[in-house]
Structure formats: structure tokens, C-alpha cells
Structure 1
Amino acid sequence: MRVARFRLSVCQRAHTRRSCLQCLLLGLTILLKQPPPPLLAFFLYSASVVCSHVSPSNASVHAAAMPDERILLVTGIPSKQCTSEYLYSLFGAYGGIQQIRIGSSSITKGCAIVVYEQCEAANNAVGALNEYALSKDRVLRVSVYEEERDKKALERRKRKREMQAEYKKHIADVAHAANEPKE
């Protein structure tokens, strides 16, 4: 009997078994963004086919530390010259592409999200296309998309809008108070 070696995208470890129940359930936990039901959790930590690198104590740390490395953030795209077909041909050379989204709003113009089918293809694309010169003055920046970084940026923008609204209200209150007649 021949045992195939494969790489599971959740744990990034090479396994010598046909399946790794623990990594499979950990992957489901990451996809569902919630802990597994109690019965699955029982099997997660009591199954005989488990990986030695994940234990109940470090499973949440392991899950949080592994971003979905199939998703790439691409910046520096000339919005008028680059079409989705061009990006498919450019990024498709490194593996199967699941989806490409090109930003069209004023904030996301010049950016794209590329989702590969496999992590290895995404890593190859990052290595080959980061700092890729499209023209004399345009350079592509390609990196693995990090959801945490995006959430922090969104929170900063939200706080900035709130502060601007508060400042405008304060200015309006001061102007209103200045226009009131004094007794």
C-alpha cells in the first residue's frame, strides 16, 4: 500500500496519512469562524489520527495564526489599462484562479483581490509578481491579504469619520452660541 504525501492548507504541515481529522476539523472551525460543536470538539481532541503539532491548548492560537494564504491583495494597478482578462493572464500563469475582483470605487481604485485555488500557486505569484514593473512608472505590489490589517484600517477610518462629525458639531454649537444675544 502506497501512502501519498499531501499538504493540507489549514496547517501547512506535510502529512503521511490519507486524512488528518484534527486538521480537517480545525479547518472547518476557521471556515465557520466559530468553535466546532461539542461532539466535533470531542473528536477533534480524542481522535487517534491527529497531528502532533496541534493540541487543545494551542489550537485556537494555531487557527488564528494561519491566514487564508490563497487570497492576495494587489495594489498599483493602472485602473484604465488593466482589465480583468489581463490580470487573469498575468496571475493565471502561476496556478488556477478562483476569482479576481478589481476595485472600482474611489477608495479601491488601483487595487485587486486575487483568490487562488491553492496556497502554493498564491505563494509563487507573490514571489514572482511582487515589485513587477508594468510600465516605467507603475509597479505592482502583491501580498497575502490579511483580514486583521484590513479590520484595523476600517476601524481607523470609522474613528476618523466620528471625530470629524464631532468636530463639525462642536463648530456649529460654538457658532450658534456666538450668535445668541447676551443678556
Structure 2
Amino acid sequence: MATLKNQRLPPEVNRILFVKNLPFKITSAEIYELFGAYGGIRQVRLGNASDTMGTAFVVYDDIFDARNACEHLSGYNFGGRYLVVLYHQPAKQARKLDQTKKRQELELMKQKFGIE
């Protein structure tokens, strides 16, 4: 029987979790308490701007702890809200940012040449 540490993990699994649908009044201490039950946490970053309220990044010391937390807390009801817990995927976000930048450049070109 293989131990947990010897299991092969999907490529998207990493130590950083992105959490959405958090109560707006949640504190870092509450996140540490909730997510810390699944392993050592290196860092918590709460969204504090108007467009990032209710989100957080949780960085675990160990990838297996992050996976365990993701599996157990995704869909968990906390403060009357069901949490959405995902693995942070910087490459996916970079592609999205790149597409946004290309759309903006296209709109500028359309304006410059009077194309609608």
C-alpha cells in the first residue's frame, strides 16, 4: 500500500490555495484557524480592495497539506457562505492578463483607424 507522500499528484496541485466566497468580515486569524487544521500555514493574504473582498490566498508549508485542505474545505459552509477553494494557477492568470492586454490594444487600434 502506497503512503500519502508517494502518491502522484495532478499538475495543478501546489502549496498555494485561492479561496473565494469568504465572508467580507473574516480576519486572518479566522483563516489561520480554519485552514491551519489541515497543516502548517506559511502565509495568508486577504483581499482588501473592493474587487478582492471575500478572497484570500493561503500558502501552506507542504503540498499535501494544501491538497488535503482543498479537498475538505471546498464547498464548506463558513459564516453562511460556501467556500470555493482552488489551486493558485499563475500561468492561467498570466494568459488571462495577456488576453485582456491584447483586447485593449485591439480597441486602441480600432479607435486610431476609425474602425467599429
- Give the TM-score of the pair, scaled to structure 2: 0.77
Match of 1:142 among 70, 85, 92: 85
Partner amino acid, structure 1, of 2:20: T
Q: Which residue of 2 aligns with 1:154?
A: 97
1:7: how far off?
4.0
- Indicate how the Cα distance of structure 1 residues 152 and 123 shifts in structure 2: closer, same or farther if over 3 A, else same: same
User: Which is higher, the Rg of structure 1 or of structure 2?
Assistant: 1
Runs of 4+ residues over 6 Å off in structure 1: none
Match of 2:55 among 104, 111, 118: 111
The count of residues paired between Structure 1 and Structure 2 equals: 113
Give the share of equivalent positions with the same residue, in percent: 36
What is the distance in 2 between the residues matched to 1:168 and 1:105?
31
What is the distance in 2 between the residues matched to 1:94 and 1:103?
22
Structure 2 stretches of 5 or more lacking a match? Answer: none
Q: Equivalences for 1:1-183 in 2 at 5 Å?
A: 7=5, 66-67=11-12, 69-79=14-24, 81-136=25-80, 138-169=81-112
Larger relative CO (CA 8 A, sep 6+): 1 or 2? 2
Partner amino acid, structure 2, of 1:131: G
- Give the TM-score of the pair, scaled to structure 1: 0.52
What is the RMSD computed on CA atoms of the aligned residues? 2.8
1:135: how far off?
3.7
Partner amino acid, structure 1, of 2:103: K
What is the distance in 2 between the residues matched to 1:69 and 1:140?
18
What is the distance in 1 between the residues matched to 2:88 and 2:67?
12
**Deviations along 1:136-175, whole A, 9 cap, x unmatched?**
4x2210011112211122112222333344455456x9xx
Partner amino acid, structure 2, of 1:93: A
What is the distance in 2 between the residues matched to 1:78 and 1:160?
33
